[in-house]
Amino acid sequence: MSTLSVPLPAHLEEIIVRLVNSGFAETKAEVVRKAITRLAEEEAVNVVLLSQKEAREGKVLTGDLRKLVKALS
């Protein structure tokens, strides 16, 4: 595991401390790890939702994958 030093404004550190004090996590580092994990999960959900929207709008690729790759290259 690596260590990353990130300056935070006071209001964000207060939120992190409050989350530790409330039992959300045992340490400030754990709060940050959980936040990053949730952000990554949210981004993955957004990609799926966008893909579904594009599919409903007919914005999908169909056909031979090799030909599609060549056409897009």
pLDDT tens per residue across span 31-56? 999 999 999 999 999 999 999 999 89
28 contact partners, CB below 8 Å, separation of at least 6: 13, 16, 17, 20
- Given a cut of 80, is residue 6 above it in pLDDT? yes
Task: Write down the pTM of the prediction.
Answer: 0.72
What the block records as the tokens of 61 is 């690729």
